[in-house]
């Protein structure tokens, strides 16, 4: 009996399988075939010769590295804070933008705010190095007006992460609001009218109507971003320097430095595998939490 | 949107104050964003500019002229436009089809398909295996090697799925009763209802392809087929090693290409705005 | 379903992995006809593949250049121009996929690394039998000899840095160019106190690269180096480094060194220089000197720049030379052919050298009397094309032809002359497996100690102690043992 429904199922859904076929082939070619290369984590592999099986040696090298664990903790801290802050700012800004009624002003704000997303990190780093310069940067200029001595922000362990988060917000908040503005615009107007009838004031409306209505969007974006969070590289690489190594180094920059001279792809693949496994853990935890809280998860 | 009037009468005062403050706050965010951009603009037309000076001392558009005139500048720009447009079309089609398929909870193998897609977000074969695969499948110098991996991502598929899940199932049932094939349901019902989703995800795909340089560098070695972002990167990173010195012209060109590469999307977003209206979106409360 | 997918994928990739290595060992031949090679007679190859990442690109005439190469030699030139930034990755991928060019260049530690991996053809015998052995300066050959063997032909005379000073400020103060460290510091102090537009007396792009801080490092070196007795030591742990750190720390405290030196990049240093607020900057000799001077005077017309002789306590240094190499996967007769028809041709002191250094006649340069006059570049007619692939200002080998001189003027020539007076080549580090394992952590440690001590966050004694302790823990003694064995 079960077999018959299974076969029926396939017949019933045959068009769907067909629709999925091109996507399947694309993933096969660009993701799944190369993915077998993950086994290189267990090999000593450089571009010059045959891979040599060495078991867990790459992982041993990685984990016993002088600053690997510092980099690991930094990666978790920096990325998670960045992610949380990012969502908070993007949702907050989207809510504020929603309060603007002039369509022209709305478009203007959003268009301008999302420009930094298009700039490469190299450009952004050089611009902000100038802005934060202890010699003649704007920020220190303003501090001096207040009687505060200039601070060498990017070279100061106490300040680097704060500055890092701010620069990231500058670059990505505008872009992040796109999806939330779309979500807010789609909230059913009836809900608002019902709330007004119930005597709910404006601030309460935001917290009890708008946010719950877009909670699903926030959750989806959160979990999806969580999957990529450990891969952070570009912003750290361009803003790092030897004085702030201890607080700024992340797994990807650490592995990149090792890789520059050695061409040891077995080692960098092992690091990638490690990051993937941790990402799986993070996403699973988040998904389970969301199931408990909202009753359903992403998957 | 309800039309609100500014009013400083007793009950409305706080609200009006809030709206004015909000307007100012957002204006300040815009200024913060735009100042560094103004600096880059100034750098692109003022050969004497340096540091954080924002005032123009001299105006010289030769950098922009050279971009418009030189085929090694405008050809890659056209390649960028072409790959972005076709890539977005192809990517959006594949993404929406995938999203539509994975909301079919009762389909045999449904769980496997969803896992298979999500898995790709977490695990990656690495540079060399991917390169070898592309090379041995004969996809070098083929724009599909950029369009497919960049235009089709699990991230977007899952976003699309979430959008589609908010379409009332009653619409599907009605269509089935009418005897429509899944494909025509997809084409005639799902897509028209998903304008905000198509606009957002379409924008995401377009931007990813437009900004991409790595896939072009790796898989499109033919210099006639390269895209604009590769050129921008070359110019920005052409830092002097002993022997290759950088001229004033090149510095201005550096800034000019940054402005040029941003420009198209400044024009696009206002047009997309109209799609972000009431309709099916992620997060709308299900009936 | 997943199981089926997995099995199928594994099968496909297993097949690929079996096939791929078969491609990676020398099957991409430079189509040499397979006739037997009699001793002494080297068959001319029908084509050569060369991967380049600087010099001519499509915009300023690679098509014409390769056509000219074919016309002059009868060999098809397959030029692969790749972006400079991704060159290392692309070369790695070329090796991984078995599609390696016949000729490519490597420098510094990459050169050593490739040798260690057995990826390069041993050219020692070919070189020693060739004219190039005597025509190219022995010190340059030494720069690319590793463990007694030569694996490449020098691409250029290694570039070095010289110190540039604002002559107009010196004149204003009635001072002469410094000849000792004491005079150097006095000059910096004078700039800082008496020249109002001087915001930064001395700037540098970071502290780790000793070529940018000659006066401060003097005979110290933050890397492995050879002492007077020729034994390898860790320069960073040496007493000379303690003295250098002290000098830098004191100068930084007085704000004679740029406060932002830690976060400076070469581009930001140059920008600051062009704006006219920097007094002293140690940078590359030759074309860069000209640029530094010209762009500064464009902003500050009264400015004058001179390169100064090295102060008594130090000498200028140059970087490791880069070498053009041939992959080891080529057969010996192919290696000999490429060596003869490419390497010997590019440095033949005559027609070949002119082609590689100056380019195509009447397109990129023209003959004027007994001189070569560069012509406007095809991609940017406002500027002259100063080099094709190698810099004719500093050829590896002197031109045999007498009518191919080039006129360089002013600071270009001056800086090169000064550099050549007393320049030292850093010794080439041997290949060490241990070093490869610890290099990234070791360099990070050095940079950290340098930065912290110089800005005053750590005393010189503490810094040296910490470095000595932690570098020993990382395994530096083993590296030195390996180095000194060779």
Both structure tokens of A53: 């099986």
The C-alpha angle B83, B85, B86, rounded to 5 degrees, equals 65
C154 forms beta bridges with: C323
Mutate: best of C206, C260, C431, partner A, most A CBs <10 A: C260
Within 8 A of A136 by CB-CB distance, chain C residues are 199
Q: In the prediction, which pLDDT does B10 show? A: 67
| Phi/psi of residue B259, nearest 5 degrees | -65, -45
- How far CA A64 is from CA of A249, A257, C342, C433, C440, in Å, comes to 16, 16, 46, 17, 14
Mutate: best of A5, A6, A26, partner B, most B CBs <10 A: A26
The pLDDT tens digits for B61-98 are 888 888 888 888 889 999 999 999 999 999 999 999 99
Least-confidence region, from A63-77, B217-231, C380-394: C380-394
Contacts with B, C 196-235, CB within 8 Å: none
Kind of pairing, strands C76-81 and C104-107?
unpaired
Round to whole Å and give the CA distance between B98 and C112: 49
The pLDDT tens digits for A56-94 are 998 998 898 778 999 999 999 999 999 999 999 999 999
**Minimum Cα–Cα distance from A130: chain C residue:** C268
Instruction: List the beta strands (DSSP E) in A15-139.
Output: 43-44, 52-53
Kind of pairing, strands C76-81 and C47-52?
parallel
In this prediction, residue A251 has a pLDDT band, given cuts at 50, 70 and 90, of very high
- List of domains in chain B: 62-275 (1.10.3720.10)
CB A16 to CB B101 under 8 A?
yes
| Phi/psi of residue C424, nearest 5 degrees | -115, 140
> Which has more confidence, C17 or C308?
C308
Round to whole Å and give the CA distance between C390 and C153: 13
Sign for the pseudo-dihedral over CA of C394, C400, C402, C404: negative
Round to whole Å and give the CA distance between C296 and B50: 11
Residue with tokens 């570049």: C377
How much of chain B exceeds pLDDT 90, in percent? 32
pLDDT over 70 (residue C9): no
Global ipTM: 0.88
List residues of chain B with CB under 8 Å from any CB of chain C.
47-48, 50-51, 66, 70, 72, 109, 112-113, 115-116, 127-128, 131-133, 135-136, 217-218, 221, 223-224, 230, 233-234, 237-249
The DSSP secondary-structure symbol of C482 reads: H
Q: In the prediction, which pLDDT does C407 show? A: 79
Q: If you average pLDDT over every residue of chain A, what do you get?
A: 88
Q: In the prediction, which pLDDT does A294 show? A: 74
CB C93 to CB B136 under 8 A?
no
CB B243 to CB C391 under 8 A?
yes
Round to whole Å and give the CA distance between A206 and A210: 5
Average pLDDT over residues A278-298: 85
Within 8 A of B258 by CB-CB distance, chain A residues are 119-120, 123
Kindly calculate the radius of gyration of chain C based on its CA atoms and give it in whole angstroms: 25
| Phi/psi of residue C279, nearest 5 degrees | -90, -40
- Dihedral (C-alpha) A199, A200, A202, A203: value to the nearest 10 degrees? 150
pLDDT over 60 (residue C376): yes
Instruction: List the beta strands (DSSP E) in C62-181.
Output: 76-81, 104-107, 145-146, 149-150, 153-154, 161-166
CB A186 to CB B36 under 8 A?
no
C367 forms beta bridges with: C372
- Dmax (CA) of chain C: 85
Closest by CA position to B259, among listed B14, B16, B76, B45:
B45
Both structure tokens of A190: 């009836």
Round to whole Å and give the CA distance between A26 and C114: 36
The pLDDT tens digits for B10-34 are 667 778 888 888 888 889 888 888 8
Round to whole Å and give the CA distance between C75 and C401: 23
DSSP assignment of B31-64 equals HHHHHHHHHHHHHHH-TT--TT--S-S----HHH
Cβ within 8 Å of residue C310, ≥6 positions away: C162, C163, C214, C316, C418, C421, C422
Average pLDDT over residues B206-233: 92
Closest by CA position to B147, among listed B215, B214, B198:
B215
Round to whole Å and give the CA distance between B166 and B164: 5
pLDDT over 70 (residue C34): no
pLDDT over 60 (residue C93): yes
The C-alpha angle C425, C428, C432, rounded to 5 degrees, equals 160
Q: In the prediction, which pLDDT does C175 show? A: 94
User: Within its chain, how far is the Cα of C255 from the centroid?
Assistant: 31
In this prediction, residue B284 has a pLDDT band, given cuts at 50, 70 and 90, of very low
Residue with tokens 């898995």: B119
Round to whole Å and give the CA distance between C413 and C285: 9
Round to whole Å and give the CA distance between C384 and C408: 13
Architecture of the CATH domain A56-294:
Orthogonal Bundle (1.10)
> Any idea where the domains of chain A sit in the sequence?
1-39, 56-294
The verdict on A263 touching B (C-beta cutoff 8 Å) is no
Nearest to C97 among B135, B217, B247 (CB): B135
Q: Do C320 and C223 meet the contact criterion of CB atoms below 8 Å apart?
A: no
In this prediction, residue C354 has a pLDDT band, given cuts at 50, 70 and 90, of very high
Round to whole Å and give the CA distance between C115 and C96: 16
- How far CA A238 is from CA of A84, B116, C137, C264, C466, in Å, comes to 22, 34, 40, 12, 27
Round to whole Å and give the CA distance between C229 and C249: 29
Q: Do C479 and C233 meet the contact criterion of CB atoms below 8 Å apart?
A: no
pLDDT over 50 (residue C28): no
How much of chain B exceeds pLDDT 70, in percent? 88
The pLDDT tens digits for A186-211 are 787 888 888 888 887 878 888 888 88
Q: In the prediction, which pLDDT does C42 show? A: 82
How much of chain C exceeds pLDDT 70, in percent? 92
SS3 of C336, please? helix
- List of domains in chain C: 15-20+41-157+320-397 (3.40.190.10), 161-318 (3.40.190.10)
pLDDT over 70 (residue B59): yes
The verdict on C49 touching A (C-beta cutoff 8 Å) is no
Sign for the pseudo-dihedral over CA of C40, C43, C44, C48: negative
Least-confidence region, from A99-113, A254-268, A273-287, C178-192: A254-268
**Minimum Cα–Cα distance from A150: chain C residue:** C259
Q: Do C286 and B242 meet the contact criterion of CB atoms below 8 Å apart?
A: yes
Both structure tokens of B15: 């609200």
In this prediction, residue A298 has a pLDDT band, given cuts at 50, 70 and 90, of low
The pLDDT tens digits for A97-125 are 888 888 888 888 888 998 999 998 999 99
The minimum CA-CA distance between C50 and chain A, rounded to whole Å, is 19
Round to whole Å and give the CA distance between B110 and B169: 18
C77 forms beta bridges with: C48
Contacts with B, A 103-162, CB within 8 Å: 103, 105-120, 122-124, 127-128, 130-131, 136-138
SS3 of B287, please? coil
State the angle between helix axes of C266-274 and A121-131 in degrees (0 to 180), rounded to the nearest 10.
Answer: 50
- Averaging pLDDT over each range in A105-109, C337-341, C348-352, which range is the top one? C337-341
Round to whole Å and give the CA distance between C45 and A274: 47
- Dihedral (C-alpha) B199, B202, B207, B213: value to the nearest 10 degrees? 180
Nearest to C262 among A133, A241, A258 (CB): A241
Average pLDDT over residues B269-277: 74
Both structure tokens of B110: 């449904």
Within 8 A of B283 by CB-CB distance, chain A residues are 183, 186-187, 213-218
User: Within its chain, how far is the Cα of C158 from the centroid?
Assistant: 6
In this prediction, residue C200 has a pLDDT band, given cuts at 50, 70 and 90, of very high
Instruction: Give the number of other Cβ atoms within 10 Å of residue C375's Cβ.
Output: 18
Round to whole Å and give the CA distance between C45 and C333: 10
The pLDDT tens digits for C289-299 are 988 998 898 88
The verdict on C20 touching A (C-beta cutoff 8 Å) is no
The pLDDT tens digits for A122-150 are 999 988 998 899 988 888 988 999 988 89
In this prediction, residue B138 has a pLDDT band, given cuts at 50, 70 and 90, of very high
SS3 content of chain A, % helix, strand, coil (to 5): 80, 0, 20
**Minimum Cα–Cα distance from B230: chain A residue:** A120
Q: In the prediction, which pLDDT does A8 show? A: 75
Round to whole Å and give the CA distance between A212 and A206: 9
SS3 of C107, please? strand
Cβ within 8 Å of residue C397, ≥6 positions away: C132, C135, C136, C347, C349, C353
Average pLDDT over residues B177-183: 77
């Amino acid at each position: 009996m079960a077999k018959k429904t299974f076969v029926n199922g396939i017949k019933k859904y045959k068009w769907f399988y067909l629709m999925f076929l091109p996507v399947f082939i694309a993933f096969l070619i660009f993701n799944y075939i190369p993915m077998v290369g993950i086994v290189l984590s267990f090999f000593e592999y450089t571009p010059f010769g045959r891979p040599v099986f060495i078991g867990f040696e790459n992982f041993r090298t990685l984990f016993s590295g002088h600053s690997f664990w510092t980099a690991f903790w930094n990666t978790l801290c920096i990325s998670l804070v960045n992610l949380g802050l990012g969502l908070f700012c993007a949702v907050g800004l989207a809510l504020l933008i929603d309060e603007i009624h002039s369509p022209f002003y709305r478009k203007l704000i959003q268009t301008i705010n999302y420009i930094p997303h298009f700039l490469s990190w190299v450009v952004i780093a050089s611009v902000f190095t100038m802005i934060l310069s202890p010699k003649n940067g704007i920020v220190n200029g303003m501090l001096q007006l207040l009687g505060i001595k200039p601070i060498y922000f990017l070279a100061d362990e106490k300040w680097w992460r704060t500055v890092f988060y701010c620069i990231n917000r500058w670059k990505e908040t505008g872009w992040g609001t796109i999806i939330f503005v779309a979500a807010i615009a789609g909230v059913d107007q009836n809900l608002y009218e019902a709330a007004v009838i119930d005597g709910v004031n404006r601030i309460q409306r935001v917290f009890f109507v708008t946010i719950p209505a877009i909670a699903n969007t926030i959750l989806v974006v959160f979990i999806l971003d969580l999957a990529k969070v450990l891969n952070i590289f570009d912003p750290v690489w361009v803003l790092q320097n030897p004085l702030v190594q201890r607080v700024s180094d992340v797994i990807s920059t650490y592995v990149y430095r090792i890789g520059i001279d050695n061409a040891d792809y077995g080692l960098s693949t092992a690091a990638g595998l490690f990051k993937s496994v941790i990402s799986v853990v993070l996403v699973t935890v988040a998904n389970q939490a969301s199931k408990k809280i909202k009753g359903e998860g992403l998957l | 949107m309800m039309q609100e009037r500014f009013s400083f009468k007793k009950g409305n005062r706080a609200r009006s104050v809030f709206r004015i403050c909000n307007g100012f706050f957002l204006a300040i965010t815009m200024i913060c964003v735009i100042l560094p951009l103004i600096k880059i603009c100034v750098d692109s037309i003022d050969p004497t500019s340096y540091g954080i000076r924002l005032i123009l001392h001299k105006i010289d558009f030769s950098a922009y002229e050279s971009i418009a005139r030189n085929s090694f500048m405008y050809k890659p720009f056209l390649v960028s436009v072409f790959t972005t447009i076709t890539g977005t079309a192809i990517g959006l089609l594949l993404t929406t089809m995938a999203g539509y398929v994975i909301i079919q909870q009762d389909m045999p193998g449904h769980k496997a398909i969803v896992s298979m897609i999500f898995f790709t977000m977490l695990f990656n074969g690495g540079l060399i295996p991917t390169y070898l695969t592309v090379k041995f499948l004969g996809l070098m110098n083929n724009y599909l090697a950029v369009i497919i991996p960049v235009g089709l991502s699990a991230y977007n598929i899952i976003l699309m799925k979430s959008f589609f899940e908010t379409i009332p199932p009653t619409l599907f049932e009605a269509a089935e009763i009418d005897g429509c094939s899944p494909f025509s349901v997809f084409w005639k019902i799902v897509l028209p209802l998903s304008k905000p989703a198509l606009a957002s995800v379409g924008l995401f795909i377009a931007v990813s392809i437009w900004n991409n340089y790595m896939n072009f560098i790796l898989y499109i070695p033919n210099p006639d087929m390269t895209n604009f972002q590769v050129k921008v990167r070359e110019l920005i990173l052409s830092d002097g090693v002993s022997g290759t010195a950088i001229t004033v012209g090149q510095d201005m060109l550096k800034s000019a290409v940054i402005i040029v590469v941003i420009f198209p999307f400044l024009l696009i977003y206002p047009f997309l705005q109209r799609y972000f209206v009431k309709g099916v979106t992620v997060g709308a409360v299900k009936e | 379903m997943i199981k089926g997918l997995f099995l199928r994928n594994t099968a496909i990739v297993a097949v690929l992995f079996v096939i791929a290595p078969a491609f990676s060992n020398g099957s991409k031949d430079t189509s040499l006809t397979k006739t037997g090679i009699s001793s002494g007679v080297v068959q001319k190859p029908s084509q050569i593949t060369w991967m380049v990442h600087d010099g001519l690109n499509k915009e300023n005439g690679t098509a014409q250049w390769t056509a000219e190469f074919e016309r002059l030699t009868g060999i098809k030139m397959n030029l692969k121009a790749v972006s400079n930034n991704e060159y290392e990755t692309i070369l790695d991928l070329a090796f991984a996929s078995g599609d390696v060019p016949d000729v490519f260049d490597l420098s510094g530690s990459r050169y050593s690394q490739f040798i260690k991996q057995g990826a390069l053809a041993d050219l020692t015998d070919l070189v020693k039998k060739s004219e190039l052995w005597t025509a190219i300066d022995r010190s340059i050959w030494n720069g690319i000899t590793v463990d007694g063997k030569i694996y490449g032909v020098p691409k250029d005379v290694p570039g070095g840095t010289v110190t540039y000073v604002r002559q107009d400020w010196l004149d204003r103060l009635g001072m002469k160019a410094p000849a000792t460290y004491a005079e150097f510091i006095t000059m910096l102090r004078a700039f800082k106190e008496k020249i109002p537009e001087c915001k930064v007396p001395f700037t540098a792009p970071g502290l780790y690269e000793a070529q940018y801080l000659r006066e401060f490092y003097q005979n110290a070196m933050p890397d492995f180096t050879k002492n007077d007795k020729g034994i390898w030591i860790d320069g960073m742990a040496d007493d000379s480094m303690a003295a250098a750190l002290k000098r830098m720390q004191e100068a930084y405290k007085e704000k004679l060194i740029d406060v932002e030196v830690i976060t400076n990049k070469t581009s930001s240093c140059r920008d600051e220089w062009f704006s006219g607020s920097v007094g002293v900057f140690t940078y590359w000799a030759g074309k860069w000197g000209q640029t530094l001077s010209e762009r500064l005077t464009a902003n500050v017309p009264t400015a004058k720049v001179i390169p100064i002789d090295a102060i008594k306590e130090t000498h200028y240094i140059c970087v490791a030379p880069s070498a053009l190499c041939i992959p080891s996967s080529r057969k010996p007769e192919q290696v000999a052919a490429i060596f003869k028809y490419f390497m010997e041709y590019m440095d033949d002191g005559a027609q070949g050298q002119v082609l590689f250094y100056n380019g195509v006649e009447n397109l990129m340069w023209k003959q004027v009397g007994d001189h070569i006059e560069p012509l406007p570049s095809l991609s940017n007619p406002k500027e002259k094309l100063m080099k094709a692939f190698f810099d004719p200002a500093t050829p590896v080998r002197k031109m045999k032809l007498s009518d191919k001189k080039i006129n360089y003027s002013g600071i270009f020539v001056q800086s090169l002359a000064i550099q050549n007076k007393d320049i030292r080549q850093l010794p080439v580090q041997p290949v060490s497996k241990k070093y490869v394992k610890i290099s990234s952590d070791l360099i990070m440690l050095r940079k950290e100690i340098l930065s912290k001590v110089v800005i005053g966050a750590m005393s010189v004694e503490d810094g040296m102690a910490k470095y000595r302790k932690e570098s020993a823990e990382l395994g530096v003694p083993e590296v030195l043992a390996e180095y000194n064995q060779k």
